[in-house]
A and B are shown apart, each in its own frame.
Chain A
Amino acid sequence: MTAVTGADAARPVPEGLERFPFPLTEDAYRYSTNVEPARKPVRTAAGGWGTRIIDIDGHYDGELRERAAILQRDPSRMALAPHMGPAAWDALMYCLECLAREYPDRMGLVREGRRFAWSNRLQDLRVDGVIGDDDSVPGGPLTFLAGQIQEDIALLDKREGALWLDGGVVTFASNWSMAFDVGMRFLEIHGPVPRVHEERVITRAHDFLMRMQPGEAYRRTNWSMTVDRRLDVSTETYPEWGSSRTEVLEDPRLPQRLHLRVEVQHLIALPHTGAVLFLIRTYLEPFERLAQIPQWRARLHAVLSELPQDMADYKGLARYRPRLVQWLAGEDTVRR
């Protein structure tokens, strides 16, 4: 693969890719307990990312409208066990503080005791709330938070030496179901993932999360592929998107339609309850655009050529792989 040339390197970066969290840092990809401190800046071939926990970008309005519509159609994307009330408030206040600190021109938070005033200029919104009073914010603390940030939200309770998924609002799940997983332990949730058990990736992550002290924040990335710019590829909507996965194989526009799906996941031990807040932010970019960055094209080619079959199967990308690898190498021949 020799796509990287001096001329290519001098081309301007296509708009929006500067901040794309390109997740592949080596020419071979394996699962690892890839956690690192939050807010650590990362440089990529196109720019950089990572200085913030909550990220607002040009898709803000559209993604929040989409989330609201999904929640309306399918309320089971939101769950909260009765004992998680304080944790939900802890999550809301943590995130509002983060937003006000990181986007002072657009977001504001004033607090006096348990009362607070929240303003979000992106939505022309002002809300006066009282911590602990669920009726004081529209929809209750967790649903309200889901309307302020693009991230999906999961809340895990620590008890009996384990972490339990006891709440969250997840509208953009990547082939899993919040309604199915809620109430499960962290280790059970990761049951379907190949390799991680032999390689102790998940048990190490579990022990790490159990030891995290309140106020600490870490992050990791994960990646897969999605056909078209579709955020909601949850198990619930499989009938809507399942067939696109084979249909795209016959489409000459595969490089435009197939997206690299990157999740930036934050792991936060909440300050007042110690519950673990798991924020999942999903970014989608078509391969056709990613390949305009020569280093990314080369890296994607290397990783996808090498990725073991069981991981490709689990990530649901085995069927695209041959054509994508060919295309990345510059040898695509459209089968029609």
Chain B
Amino acid sequence: MTALPPALRDGLDLMVTEVCRYSERLVSLRMRAADERPLPSYVPGSHLAVACGDGINAYSLTGSGLYPERYAVSVRLDAAGAGGSVAMHRLRPGDVLRSSRPRSQFAPVAQARRHLLLAGGIGVTPILSHARAAHEWGTSADVLYVHRPGEGIHAAELRELAGPQLSVACLTSREAFGRALRGRLAGSPLGTHLYACGPEPFMEAVLRAAREHGWPEGRLHAESFGAASLDPGEPFGVKLPDGTRIPVPAGVSLLEALESAGRAVPNMCRQGVCGQCALTVTAGRPLHRDHYLTEAEKEENRLIMSCVSRSLDRELEVRP
């Protein structure tokens, strides 16, 4: 048995309300909460971790994030990928998906003088979110979007946002993008933050060019979908001093497994920082995932924080 990872367990059931096909490979989905409750606001550039098909995939939200009536994501069909995009492309209005709450890993910097927003292909989705938020809050942004001819999903929405504080250029050739990028890298005011999202080669090229132009690392932001807190871990078992054995399935913490077995452990944060839920390890090697123990303590393998850490071995022996 595998339980959902925590981010999805505490997540949302979303119902597809509209499917909008832009091209054979590009589709946009709009969703509302299946229970019709208001959807949480989100930080521009946030993504949803969605269980669809065999795995869990991250999709950027394209709205500004302020009181969204719908969550919208766009998905590019990747026939060679793990199958998530294929399943997403099969969705029809009325279908329900399990999703995390919006997760922020690509947030705007409030203090930035300007945001230079760079999108390659389907990487336009979080960039559109940033541009919409900049438009709503009247902050300054400069958008460059490069895409293949006929695949310029969201180019029209971006152009509609253009105004005195927000410039938008959508380009279909790499050379034109390269020229425009160098112009922006040389001409953006000090205090501009660069945000890039797109395929690996695009990101590498953009970041390399920015470094060559002397942009400091602290001003460069690249979207990456971290697996943090999405990893359900491997199943293992614990043996208690009285000989009881308790299974810990994937997606369930040691602390939760002990609690369900009626063996409560003192705890507080349930996030691996407060140190309350420590157990002593008498056999087996813990897989430390906490932020409480020092590196040296982790190497000793004498303590385990039961709210987040797991086991490298099939069985751990622990005592309170």
With A83-B110, A84-B110, A208-B291 in contact, is A272–B43 under 8 Å at CB?
A: yes
Contact with B along A36-76 (1 / 0, CB 8 A): 11000000000000000000000000000000000000000
Contact with B along A59-100 (1 / 0, CB 8 A): 000000000000000000000010111110010000000000
Q: Chain A residues near B101 (CB, 8 Å)? A: 213, 215
B41 near A272 with CB under 8 A, answer yes
B239 contacts chain A at the CB level, 8 A cutoff: no
With A83-B110, A132-B137, A160-B218 in contact, is A34–B268 under 8 Å at CB?
A: yes
B67 near A113 with CB under 8 A, answer yes
List residues 57-113 of chain B with CB under 8 A from any CB of chain A: 65-67, 101-104, 107, 109-111
The distance in angstroms between the C-alpha atoms of A84 and B108, with both chains bound, is 12
- Shortest CB distance B203–A (Å): 20
The distance in angstroms between the C-alpha atoms of A208 and B111, with both chains bound, is 22
Q: Chain A residues near B292 (CB, 8 Å)? A: 33, 204
Instruction: List the one stretch of B14-22, B166-174, B269-277 in contact with chain A.
Output: B269-277
Q: Chain B residues near A37 (CB, 8 Å)? A: 269-270
Interface size on A, residues (CB 8 A): 37
B249 contacts chain A at the CB level, 8 A cutoff: no
B110 near A32 with CB under 8 A, answer no
B177 contacts chain A at the CB level, 8 A cutoff: no
Partner of B104 from A34, A83, A200, A214 at Cβ < 8 Å: A214
A234 contacts chain B at the CB level, 8 A cutoff: no
A159 near B110 with CB under 8 A, answer yes
The distance in angstroms between the C-alpha atoms of A159 and B218, with both chains bound, is 9
Interface size on B, residues (CB 8 A): 30
- Shortest CB distance B290–A (Å): 10
The distance in angstroms between the C-alpha atoms of A86 and B268, with both chains bound, is 32
A8 contacts chain B at the CB level, 8 A cutoff: no
The distance in angstroms between the C-alpha atoms of A157 and B273, with both chains bound, is 21
A208 near B269 with CB under 8 A, answer yes
Q: Chain B residues near A34 (CB, 8 Å)? A: 268, 274
Residue of B nearest to A81 (CB): B111
The distance in angstroms between the C-alpha atoms of A160 and B217, with both chains bound, is 10
B110 near A271 with CB under 8 A, answer no
- Shortest CB distance A323–B (Å): 33
B40 contacts chain A at the CB level, 8 A cutoff: yes
Contact with A along B128-140 (1 / 0, CB 8 A): 0000000011000
Main secondary structure of the interface of B (DSSP, over half): loop
Partner of B273 from A33, A113, A214 at Cβ < 8 Å: A33
B273 near A35 with CB under 8 A, answer yes
A204 near B273 with CB under 8 A, answer yes
A273 contacts chain B at the CB level, 8 A cutoff: yes
A273 near B110 with CB under 8 A, answer yes
The distance in angstroms between the C-alpha atoms of A279 and B66, with both chains bound, is 22
Q: Chain A residues near B102 (CB, 8 Å)? A: 214-215
Contact with B along A257-282 (1 / 0, CB 8 A): 00000000000000111110000000
B111 near A157 with CB under 8 A, answer yes
A205 contacts chain B at the CB level, 8 A cutoff: yes
Residue of B nearest to A213 (CB): B103
A271 near B107 with CB under 8 A, answer no
- Shortest CB distance A293–B (Å): 23
The distance in angstroms between the C-alpha atoms of A204 and B292, with both chains bound, is 7
A291 contacts chain B at the CB level, 8 A cutoff: no
The distance in angstroms between the C-alpha atoms of A108 and B101, with both chains bound, is 26
A35 near B42 with CB under 8 A, answer no
Partner of B274 from A36, A159, A200 at Cβ < 8 Å: A36
Residue of B nearest to A207 (CB): B291
Q: Chain B residues near A207 (CB, 8 Å)? A: 273, 291
Contact with A along B197-235 (1 / 0, CB 8 A): 000000000000000000000100000000010000000
B253 contacts chain A at the CB level, 8 A cutoff: no
B46 contacts chain A at the CB level, 8 A cutoff: yes
A158 contacts chain B at the CB level, 8 A cutoff: yes
B273 near A208 with CB under 8 A, answer yes
Q: Which of A32, A34, A218, A271: most chain B CB closer than 10 A?
A: A271
Partner of B111 from A33, A36, A83, A213 at Cβ < 8 Å: A83
Q: Chain A residues near B103 (CB, 8 Å)? A: 213
Contact with B along A197-236 (1 / 0, CB 8 A): 0001000110110010111001000000000000000000
The distance in angstroms between the C-alpha atoms of A132 and B67, with both chains bound, is 13
Residue of A nearest to B292 (CB): A204
With A213-B101, A213-B104 in contact, is A157–B43 under 8 Å at CB?
A: no
Q: Chain B residues near A173 (CB, 8 Å)? A: none
Sample 18 A-B pairs with CB under 8 A, ordered by A number: A32-B274, A32-B275, A33-B274, A85-B137, A86-B137, A90-B41, A113-B67, A114-B66, A114-B67, A159-B110, A204-B273, A214-B41, A214-B46, A271-B43, A272-B42, A272-B43, A272-B65, A275-B110
- If A200-B294, A215-B40 are given as contacts, then 8 extra A-B residue pairs at C-beta distance below 8 Å, sorted by A number, are A32-B275, A34-B268, A83-B111, A157-B111, A158-B107, A214-B42, A214-B46, A214-B102
What are the 4 tightest A-B residue pairs by CB atom distance, in nearest-first order?
A: A271-B41, A272-B41, A83-B110, A274-B43
